[in-house]
Structure 1
Amino acid sequence: MLSAPQQKAYQEFLVLLTKFKENFKDDAQKINPTTTKERFRKIQQWFEEKIAHSSAEHLAEVEIAPSWQAIQRELIREFRLLSTDVIFLASARQTATKKARLQSIDTRIDKLINYCQTMISQEKL
């Protein structure tokens, strides 16, 4: 079982991801790269402070540590890939490239949401 602060952090991250994902429901032409990068930078800073440096020693149950570490590692890896996609989206000039990046971002956010839900639910840990 996660400690209360860890559980809260994953819940807050889930909300941040969901709100960030809503920004991409618009057409690729309407996406503002500067605004997107700024929004993502805030999420990235929050992620580094609350999630990325979280450790297994704060778990309420030691038995779940290996599962937690595996999911945590994947969550961090996927977030880094999302960061790269956001950077590439900001530099994309052609509509087709923007659409491809938006699809990739959408997929990565979905994966991150699933990881957060798994951490919160603790059923699969």
Structure 2
Amino acid sequence: MLPERHRQAIAQLQQTLEHLQNQLTEANLDKVTLTAAFRQAQQLLENILQLGDGDVSPSLVSPLQSYLTEIHKQMRLLEMDFRFLQTSRQTATLQTRQTQMRSRVATLIGYCKSLLDK
């Protein structure tokens, strides 16, 4: 089982991602609120990465590192999607970006759930 501080941080990241996902389903995106939620998710991930794995059970160190590597990668890709979304001018392009971002956020939420199940 993951240490409590890891579990709390990952649960908080999951909640932020779920909030972000809800915002991405809205027809009229509020880019300011979306930006704030995205930045919060980035900060939470940085906090998780800084926790280290010193107090993690040796049997969980490798899976934890693997998940965190994937989460970090997906967050970087989400950041690129986010930048493209901000520059989207046409409705069709905006909708495509929203769909891509929702998919990526769903993947991130799945990773968080998997980690919390450990």
TM-score calculated relative to the size of structure 1: 0.86
Query: How far 1:108 sits from its partner (Å)?
Result: 0.7
Report the counterpart of residue 49 of structure 2 in structure 1: 52
Q: 1:3 touches 1:58 (CA, 8 Å); kept in 2? A: yes
Q: 1 CA distance for matches of 2:48 and 2:81?
A: 20
Extract structure 1 runs of 4+ deviating beyond 3 A: none
Q: 1 CA distance for matches of 2:96 and 2:34?
A: 16
> Secondary structure of 1:57's match?
coil
Give the root-mean-square deviation of aligned CA atoms: 1.4
Q: Which runs of 5+ in 1 are unaligned?
A: none
Q: 1 CA distance for matches of 2:100 and 2:49?
A: 22
Q: 2 CA distance for matches of 1:38 and 1:96?
A: 24
Query: How far 1:53 sits from its partner (Å)?
Result: 2.5
Q: Deviations over 1:11-56 (max 9, x none)?
A: 11111111111111122xx1133332233223222322x2232322
Amino acid at match of 2:38: F
Q: 1:34 touches 1:90 (CA, 8 Å); kept in 2? A: no
Amino acid at match of 2:54: E
Query: How far 1:115 sits from its partner (Å)?
Result: 0.5
Q: Which runs of 5+ in 2 are unaligned?
A: none
Q: 1 CA distance for matches of 2:11 and 2:33?
A: 24
Q: 2 CA distance for matches of 1:107 and 1:17?
A: 12
Q: 2 CA distance for matches of 1:41 and 1:66?
A: 27
Amino acid at match of 1:95: T
Report the counterpart of residue 20 of structure 1 in structure 2: 20
Q: Does 1:7 align with 2:7?
A: yes
Q: 2 CA distance for matches of 1:47 and 1:64?
A: 18
Report the counterpart of residue 94 of structure 1 in structure 2: 90
Amino acid at match of 2:99: Q
Amino acid at match of 1:18: E
> Secondary structure of 1:53's match?
helix
When the two structures are aligned, how many residues end up with a matched partner? Answer: 118
TM-score calculated relative to the size of structure 2: 0.91
Alignment of 1:1-125 (within 5 A): 1-27=1-27, 30-48=28-46, 50-59=47-56, 61-122=57-118
